[in-house]
Chain A
Amino acid sequence: MFNYQEFLDTINRQAYHEGEFQWEEDGYVVTRTNHWSPPGCHNSCGLLIYTKDGKFAKIEGDPLSPFVNGKLCVRCLDMAEAIHNPNRLKYPMKRAGKRGENKWQRISWEEAFAICEREVRRVWDQYGGSSILLIHGTGRNTGPMTYFGNCALKTPNIATYGFTGFACYLPRLFGAFAPVGDYMIADASEGSALRYANPEFKAPEVLVVWGNEPLKSNADGYIGHWLVPLIQNGTKIISIDPRLTWWGARADYFLQIRPGTDAALACAWLNVIINEKLYDQEFVEKWCTGFDELAASVQEFTPAWAAEICGLAEEDIIASARVYAAAKPASIQWGLAMDQQMSSMSLNLACCDLMAITGNLDVPGGNILIRNAFNAMNIELTENAIPEEWRAQKLTMKYAFGDNAEEFTTHAASDAVLKAMESGQPIPIKLCWIETSNTLACPSMDVGRVYEAFKNVEFIVNADPFVTPVSAAFADLILPVSMSAERDSCRTWWTPLRTINKTSQYYEAKSDEEIMLEMGRRLNPVYFPWKDVIAFLDWYMTDCTVPEDPERKEFTSTNLRLEADKANRPTNKLGFSELSQAGGFAYDEWNAVYRKYEKGLCRPDGSVGFATESGKIELTPIMYEIWGLRPTPYHIEPPESPLSTPEKMKEYPLILTCGGRSWEFFHSENRQMPTMRELHPEPLVTINPHTAAKYGIKDGDYVWIENDHGRFRQKAFLSPTVNEQTVHAEHGWWFPEQDGASPNFFGTFDANPNNCTKAYETGPAGIGTSIKCMICRIYPYKEGDKMPHTVVVEEGGFFQYTPGQGY
């Protein structure tokens, strides 16, 4: 049984140098700091970094930091293999030879910056800033990227390019903002520095783990293992997942749902909870609007209806709904799979409605409202720093496709960008700045099309610690990026506010922050007045008021969420060095308070209620209609499935789901690390043993996974964790040990499920995707089979298509 106070008493605080930021120990210099990226993830854990003679030597967790209490994952523990990796980029490099030859010539930073500046200005002059695309990834130090894109590159077109349907996090963020006014995460005491010792904290009676496997993913600023102590102390589990996980194996209810049908289950839960009056009536009457509309809308969504769609037993749907509703408190650990369904926004709304009507919002052990600590790093919108004619060419679904829906987020839509890049319509993309994204190996749906589209871009700069497939294929310039331990940085997302401290230098590597600052100085100095990174961080951590520019006009974004966020001004006063010296982290007061809506903490004017227009939770939010969405939950069947395309099931009899996480990798990262590959040498497709036998596949065989779009190869891992109808494939794989030049590009196409995914296929209003719920067939690989890299690079792809158009 977990006892946090006993753990705290166990720690000898003097042995871990409490109160000290840096000290000497056994010939090492030890620095207390936090980690972020690269290589990293969505979190930022307390660390002790050991350096010797200014070089990184070793690492361990910091037991004095309450974020993870010194408990690092294997990726952080393997940091030395990343920092000292022989594949690392040491200097800026200019392409020598043709694109794709993976030949490089060393240049100086001065030359690199000059080339970048020249190319950006050329594109401004010839096409406009909107023809510049800033591509970033996830989890890395992407906070200032929007500022960099808008204020330095002068482009409104910033995207996690390749990611159709905004299908990562944004549907949940905005899907929560519309009804509730804030985002919510499962409470595991993380809002307070006291953690589990917080006398106000209460463990949930029931935890629903839905749409993610949090122990491996640790997504969105959340540590999955925060939940394990709760389970040790008696919290019951409902696991909703196509795969059996650690959670499902310990669950009172393991609902092995057919991929892509979660919205049907959510609707049925609402049906049961509402019709049996299991909801928190007092909370609904006092704090919610739209209940009658919601109740009416879910009447057709019976458990029997959902059972057939989801492949679940009707009685389990009913019983689990009752267990969730009856628990006080209950929480939902929700995740990425919510965003990767055609019903994405509907599903996210349904989850918010469930949290709300059961009265589990912002209560101890429920789903707590969460904001960045001290509202730090909440830079106001900067699109108005871009000349108006360029800003008007933001690649939204509305601008590119004529969709009748207002802007959903600050980002350009990936499909709009792909259309522009493929066809030059409505505008061409002429320069790509790729920083923090391994674009070909990881995010790109329809990766073959993305590969072809990049050929139309005149100039591409890639900032990365390593040469990646996208660098090898397309970069004209590569900039060497510092690892986390080699940079000064900072972050919230969510709490506490943290500093990341530079402890060593690798050859000529620079941090993303340094690169953005230097380019900003050259391109648009009024917005980049800081003399160095520390000064920039001091600004970013404190008031972060955008520097004055007489040419910048006031403007109101059509994005209501971001407009509302203007009211949340930063309150932190500690600069970078002060916070580092003070321990490297600071928890704010706001996030530690429960029932903020009763205390006037949510709304800008200090009145009670939620940060919505009405001050109440809008169970059927009006904002959904503004975004072109139906304001009540419902289910959309995947485009290809046993129910929507039964005629295709004979040829493609299995469900293909992708993207489950592993301990060793963060998306495409860490494939270079010997210890991580020791634990996880190859991409694995998980197949039920009975299914494998049917297709003549043995454990460890190479297997083709194929649909009507393409195929990829992975190694068979036979396991009863998937049912007989489903296979699960891994994502993000490339092979740094392989040839990086054309056509192989480190093997990035060969094991890539994105040979099967589709761009231009989204849920309503351009949001949501079906990448976790495809159909496929599997069969043994034979020596000599044509590999996907040959098809994609040399033969023009798996299928014919019209550039700029979908299917």
Chain B
Amino acid sequence: MKGILVNYEFCTNCHSCEVACKKYNDLPIGEYGIKVTELGPWERVGKKGTEKWEWTYLPALTKACNLCEDRVAVNKLPLCVQHCQAWCLYHGEIEELVKKIDGKSRWALLVR
């Protein structure tokens, strides 16, 4: 089974995955194949440095997503992965993807 692994600790919400997918699949205004959700920003009481603020983004796949199967079939990257400017999206077999989870930052596995 193939999926998308997100190292969402580092997602910057640049919208590139959203727009790349939207354009390729010709989705109308308001519709997305992948959409980034936002957590925060909120200030965590009593915390300092890197732990003080929670302001994080996490993408989600919609039913419009087919993991770019036609591109993958000709050995190209899914468009969201290819255009992820924050270098935090990976595509592949889920058994291989989970091996990347390093326990040092936050990850999520997205499947369709």
Q: Does B14 contact A (CB under 8 A)?
A: yes
A537 CA to B38 CA, complexed, in Å: 46
Does A556 make an interface contact (CB < 8 A)?
A: no
B97 to chain A, nearest CB (A): 12
List which B62-112 residues lie within 8 A (CB) of chain A: 74-77, 79, 82-88, 100, 102, 104-105
Alpha-carbon separation in the docked complex, A723 to B89 (Å): 33
Q: A250 to B51, alpha carbons, bound, how many Å?
A: 8
- Check A225 against B85 for contact (C-beta < 8 Å): yes
| Residues of B contacting A253 in the complex (Cβ-Cβ under 8 angstroms) | 49
A248 nearest CB neighbor, chain B only:
B53
- Determine the residue in chain B with the shortest Cβ distance to A215: B12
Confirm or deny: A614 has a beta carbon within 8 angstroms of a beta carbon on chain B: no
Which residues of A have CB within 8 Å of B104?
1
Q: Using Cβ atoms and an 8 Å threshold, which residues of chain A touch B52?
A: 254
A615 within 8 A of B: no
> Known contacts A60-B79, A60-B83, A679-B15; is A249 also within 8 Å of B41 by CB?
yes
Chain A residues contacting B14 (CB-CB under 8 Å) are 73-74, 215, 225, 663
CB distance B10 to A228 under 8 Å?
yes
Beta-carbon contact of B76 and A719 below 8 Å: no
Interface residue B30 (Cβ < 8 Å from any Cβ of A): yes
Tell me if A678 is interfacial: C-beta within 8 Å of chain B: yes
Does A107 sit within 8 A of B, measured CB to CB?
no
A61 lies within 8 A of chain B by Cβ:
yes
Let me know if A78 and B12 touch, CB within 8 A.
no
Contact B10 A232 (CB under 8 A): yes
Contact A16 B76 (CB under 8 A): yes
In the bound complex, what is the Cα–Cα distance between A248 and B53 (angstroms)?
A: 8
The verdict on A8 contacting chain B, using a C-beta distance below 8 Å, is: no
Whether A80 touches B23, Cβ cut-off 8 Å, given contacts A15-B76, A252-B50, is yes
A63 → B minimal CB distance (Å): 6
Q: Which residues of A, 772-798, contact B by the 8 Å Cβ criterion?
A: none
Contacts of A664 in B (CB 8 A): 15
Q: Does B83 lie within 8 Å of A674, measured CB to CB?
A: no
Question: Which of the residues B22, B84, B105 comes within 8 Å of A71, measured between beta carbons?
Answer: B84
- What B residues does A267 contact at CB under 8 A? none
In the complex, A52 Cα to B24 Cα: how many Å? Answer: 15
- Chain B residues, CB < 8 A from A719: 41
Q: Is there an interface contact between A77 and B42, defined as CB atoms closer than 8 Å?
A: no
Q: Are B16 and A71 in contact (CB under 8 A)?
A: yes
> For chain A residues 64-116, which have a beta carbon within 8 Å of chain B?
68, 70-74, 77-78, 80
Query: B23 near A77 (CB under 8 angstroms)?
Result: yes
Query: In the complex the two chains form, what is the Cα distance from A226 to B99 in whole Å?
Result: 25
Contacts of A10 on B, CB cut-off 8 Å?
A: 77
Q: Does B4 contact A (CB under 8 A)?
A: no
0 or 1 for each of B14-32: is its CB under 8 Å from A? (1 = yes): 1110111011100001100
Interface status of A721 (Cβ within 8 A of chain B): yes
B31–chain A nearest beta-carbon distance, Å: 10
A250 x B50 contact (CB < 8 A): yes
Contacts of A721 in B (CB 8 A): 41
Q: Which of A1-55 contact B (CB under 8 A)?
A: 1-2, 7, 10-12, 14-16
Q: Mark out the residues of chain A between 665 and 701 whose CB falls within 8 Å of any chain B CB in the assembled complex.
A: 674-675, 678-679
Q: Does A246 contact B (CB under 8 A)?
A: yes
CB proximity of A50 to chain B, nearest CB, Å: 11
With A74-B15, A225-B14 given, is the CB distance from A232 to B20 under 8 Å? no
**Beta-carbon contact of A249 and B74 below 8 Å:** no
Q: Which residue of A lies closest to B53 (CB)?
A: A249
Asked whether, in the complex, the Cβ of A225 is within 8 Å of the Cβ of B86, the reply is yes
- List the A side residues contacting B40 at CB < 8 Å: 249
List chain B residues, Cβ under 8 A from A251.
49-50
Assess whether B19 is in contact with A78, with CB atoms less than 8 Å apart. Answer: yes
A231 interface hit (Cβ, 8 Å)? yes
Contact of A232 with B7 in the complex, beta carbons under 8 Å = yes
Q: Of A7, A14, A244, A675, which one neighbours B41 at CB under 8 angstroms?
A: A244
Return chain A residues, CB-CB under 8 Å to B10: 228, 231-232
Decide: A678 and B30 in contact? CB cutoff 8 A: yes
The smallest beta-carbon distance between B74 and chain A, in angstroms, is 6
Closest chain B residue, CB of each to CB of A231: B10
* Cα(A74)–Cα(B83), bound, Å: 9
Query: Which residues of A have CB within 8 Å of B54?
Result: 249
Q: In the complex, what residues of B have CB within 8 A of residue A674's CB?
A: 29
Residues of A within 8 A of B22 (CB): 675
> Is the C-beta of A58 less than 8 angstroms from some C-beta in chain B?
yes
Contact of B15 among A58, A63, A663 (CB under 8 A): A663
Q: Tell whether A71 pairs with B41 under 8 Å between CB atoms, given A10-B77, A11-B77, A77-B20.
A: no
Decide: B19 and A74 in contact? CB cutoff 8 A.
Answer: yes
- When distances are taken between beta carbons in the complex, the residues of chain B under 8 Å from A229 are 87
Q: A78 with B23: in contact, given A60-B82, A244-B53, A253-B49 (CB under 8 Å)?
A: yes
Digit string of A245-267 for contact with B (CB within 8 Å is 1, else 0)? 01011111110000000000000
A678-B82 contact given A10-B77, A12-B75, CB 8 Å threshold: no
Does A720 sit at the interface, judged by CB under 8 A? yes
Of the candidates A11, A70, A252, the one whose C-beta lies within 8 Å of that of B83 is A70
Q: Are B42 and A71 in contact (CB under 8 A)?
A: no
- A663 vs B83: C-alpha distance in the bound complex, in angstroms? 14
Contact B19 A77 (CB under 8 A): yes
Q: Which of A16, A74, A228, A232 contacts B16 (CB 8 A)?
A: A74
Which one of B16, B29, B30 has the highest number of Cβ atoms from chain A below 10 Å of its Cβ? Answer: B16
Q: Which of A15, A60, A228, A252 contacts B49 (CB 8 A)?
A: A252
State whether A678 touches B29 (Cβ < 8 A). Answer: yes
Nearest-Cβ distance from residue B39 to partner chain A, whole angstroms: 11
Q: Could you say which residues of chain B place their CB within 8 Å of the CB of A2?
A: 87
Are B53 and A232 in touch, CB under 8 angstroms?
Answer: no
Pick the most buried of A74, A250, A679: most chain B CB atoms within 10 A of its CB: A74
A61 and B41 contact, CB distance less than 8 A: no
CB of A73 within 8 A of CB of B16, answer: yes
Which of A224-238 touch B at CB < 8 Å? 225, 228-229, 231-232
A12→B82 CA distance, assembly (Å): 12
Given A1-B102, A232-B105, A252-B50 in contact, is the A63-B82 Cβ separation under 8 Å? yes
Of A14, A16, A58, which is within 8 A of B23 by CB?
Answer: A58
- Residues of chain B lying within 8 A (CB to CB) of residue A246: 12-13, 55
The reply to whether A15 and B75 contact each other, CB–CB distance below 8 Å, is yes
Report the minimum CB–CB distance from B95 to chain A (whole Å).
16
Q: A1-B102, A15-B75 are in contact. Are A73 and B53 (CB under 8 A)?
A: no
The CA-CA distance from A751 to B108 in the complex, in Å, is: 40
Q: Complex Cα distance A77/B23, Å?
A: 8
The chain B residue sitting closest to A81, CB to CB, is B23
Residue in B24, B49, B53, B82 whose CB lies within 8 Å of A70: B82
**B71: nearest residue on chain A (CB-CB)?**
A15
A residues near B53, Cβ cutoff 8 Å: 244, 248-250, 254
Task: Please give, as numbers and ranges, the residues of chain B lying within 8 Å of A15 by CB-CB distance.
Answer: 74-76
Asked if B77 and A63 sit within 8 Å, CB to CB, the answer is yes
Q: Which B residues lie within 8 Å of A250 (CB)? A: 50, 53
Given contacts A61-B82, A253-B49, 6 further A-B pairs with CB under 8 A are: A71-B84, A74-B14, A77-B20, A663-B13, A675-B19, A675-B22
The 11 listed contacts between A and B (C-beta, < 8 Å) are: A12-B75, A12-B76, A60-B20, A60-B82, A73-B14, A228-B12, A232-B7, A251-B49, A251-B50, A254-B53, A679-B19
The 6 closest A-B CB pairs, nearest first, are: A12-B75, A15-B75, A249-B55, A249-B53, A225-B85, A74-B19
